[in-house]
Amino acid sequence: MTVEARRSAVARGLDRMFGSHAALSFLSIALFAAGTGLALSQTADGTGIRAQLVSRSTTMLSSEVAGKVVALPFREGEAFREGEQIAAIDCATYQAKLALADAQVRRSGRKVDALKVLDKKGATGKVDVDLAEIDLLGAKAEYSAAATDVSRCNIMAPFSGRIAELKVHQYQYVSAGEPMLDIISDHDLEVELLAPSRWLTWLKPGATFALRIDELNRDFPAIVARTGARIDPVSQSIKVYARIDGNYPELIPGMSGLALVAPPEGGTSSIP
């Protein structure tokens, strides 16, 4: 059954149980929560809401040139530092093109010098000198392009982190633009949670709360960093982002738990 068919079946079932308007509301809330990866759910006392840890630095690195993979020094799960080589493409062809471009630059330069001498002696025209200089500029541009391709043979880490997934194997041929490595930083973590929008009256940047991680069964201090740019009008919820207050190497992206958010005195945090 397709996604659209499943949505239609759920809507028909809710319509029979609650009526068309309620069915639409329930379905919209469910789809919103599924799209964010979070659920608008609380503990019995109304102070705990589901949250997850995400990395602020994560990317898929692709090959910028075509060729054979000659180096993959890190395995999945292993850590690397910013600036380290994490993959390499066979560069023999690109280095040969660079050498050819370098020779063309030197040849064009010699030609320009010779024509300038002849021009001073009246043995050639200004047009010939100008055309030779244009050829030299073209040769330098080709050299720059070839040098860029050579630099792309070595894939360097843009930040410190770990290998989340290897998409290719050593000695495999890859095309330009083909995904090679999924990398993620485990040092720059952020807490994401979906909170009722009416909490905005007291849940401000700088507010503190405890994050109870399910996988570790421990509480960690967190500080609200910012709130989302818009409120979902159907579920009346908003994304809230926080940072962990301190350095905890045991925390990794994907962990989840409860954000134990306590409202100020006189406030309320329960979902109606």
pLDDT surpasses 80 at 18: no
Cα–Cα distance, 263 to 47 (Å, whole number): 8
Cα separation values, 183 from 20, 117, 216, 259, Å: 45, 57, 23, 27
Q: Looking at residues 103-124, what average pLDDT do you find?
A: 94
Residue 264 has what pLDDT? 72
Model confidence at 44, pLDDT cuts 50, 70, 90, reads very low
pLDDT surpasses 90 at 16: no
Q: Looking at residues 234-241, what average pLDDT do you find?
A: 94
pLDDT in tens, 69-96: 999 999 999 999 999 999 999 999 999 9
> What's the mean pLDDT when you consider all of the chain?
85
Residue 262 has what pLDDT? 81
Model confidence at 36, pLDDT cuts 50, 70, 90, reads very low
pLDDT surpasses 70 at 38: no
Model confidence at 266, pLDDT cuts 50, 70, 90, reads low
pLDDT surpasses 70 at 140: yes
At 31, the amino acid letter reads: L
pLDDT surpasses 70 at 21: no
Give backbone dihedrals phi and psi of 147, rounded to 5 degrees, phi first: -65, -35
